[in-house]
Homo-oligomer: A and B are copies of this chain.
Amino acid sequence: MATDEYSIPVGCFGTPGSYSYRAMMGHFDGKPITPTYYGQFADLVQAVADGTVRYGVLPIENSSTGGITEVYDLIHKYDCRIVGERYLKVEHHLLAYGDTKLEDIRTVYSHPQGLAQCRKYLTKHADWTVCPYYSTSQSAQFVQKERRHDIAAIANSTAADMYGLTILERDVNDNPTNFTRFFVIAPHSEEPGLADKITLVLTVHHAPGALYHVLGHFFYNDMNMTHLESRPIEGRPFEYFFHIDVMGSMKDPGVVRTLQALERTCKYFKILGNYPSDKEGISHETRAHW
């Protein structure tokens, strides 16, 4: 890893070999970076906010489980901005040490989410003990450190390479089309440039039709909404934030006008970022527009 003076300090969720690590490598695409790894979302977002690192890379949404409320809340709390996104296909493999054979395995380690994503595969091996671990990549690291033949990890091929493990079985995840979405965050917004996607968070007044009228702003101004998710507000049970993605640029005066008008009708309104959408990770046709 380059650590010279031109290197960009980047905070990355998880450990080397994690899905966030892959997203980081993809986003910075050969630019010199100095990564620091964080095991907790809160520590990472705080490090971005206080300038310890210049960017942070962390998961925000999984196509099988939906958005990660905690990450939205933290970006919000620490007043960070989304400056990029990245989509990564979930590809879990069964990893083991050296010449371990399938029949040697007694226990499989992975992150609870990783285990959940391989439920069908694990059901076929009902004699294995399934053990929740801190992360997919850390479970790979654990298997490498233990050097035992009765354990295996579920993680991606980057983790296999990184920890020198053997891929015993490929693509053990139930769903071959699962994606995870990652945000690249910074303490301030960046010059939009090619930015074409806007992430908003808002709350509405408790009144019939409140959300209907919010969506009307996008509909009547021909703005394409690609994501809407209601998430509970911590400490105010069953009050909700709406996380909304719309296509558009803050360089477009019509977009700015629409958002200003919308803001006036909301109880709370904040633009979390305007950034270039990831056009490689997932094809345009599979994205929603409502």
Query: Which of A194-244 touch B at CB < 8 Å?
Result: 204, 206-212, 215-216, 218-219, 222, 224-225, 227-232, 234-240
Give the residues in chain B near A207, CB-CB below 8 Å: 289-290
Q: Which residue on B lies nearest to A133, using beta carbons? A: B132
**DSSP class of A's interface residues: helix, strand, loop or mixed?**
mixed
Give the residues in chain B near A229, CB-CB below 8 Å: 66, 229-230
Q: How far is the CA of A36 from the CA of B133 in the complex (A)?
A: 28
In the complex, the answer to whether A63 meets B238 with C-beta atoms within 8 Å is yes
Q: Does A69 contact B (CB under 8 A)?
A: yes
- Out of B178, B209, B225, which one reaches A219, CB within 8 Å? B209
In the complex, the answer to whether B222 meets A218 with C-beta atoms within 8 Å is no
Q: Does A52 contact B (CB under 8 A)?
A: no
In the complex, the answer to whether B208 meets A215 with C-beta atoms within 8 Å is no
In the complex, the answer to whether A287 meets B64 with C-beta atoms within 8 Å is no
Most buried by B among A216, A227, A286, A288: A288
Q: For the side of the interface on A, what is the size category? A: 35 or more
Q: How far is the CA of A83 from the CA of B252 in the complex (A)?
A: 49
Within the complex, the shortest CB–CB distance from A39 to chain B, in Å, comes to 11
In the complex, the answer to whether B63 meets A208 with C-beta atoms within 8 Å is no
Give the residues in chain B near A235, CB-CB below 8 Å: 175, 177
Give the residues in chain B near A225, CB-CB below 8 Å: 208, 211
In the complex, the answer to whether A219 meets B208 with C-beta atoms within 8 Å is yes
In the complex, the answer to whether A239 meets B208 with C-beta atoms within 8 Å is no
A selection of 7 A-B contacts at a CB cut-off of 8 Å is A63-B237, A64-B69, A66-B69, A177-B236, A179-B238, A208-B289, A212-B216
Interface residues of A (CB under 8 A from B): 42, 62-67, 69-70, 112, 116, 119, 132-134, 175, 177-179, 204, 206-212, 215-216, 218-219, 222, 224-225, 227-232, 234-240, 282, 286-290
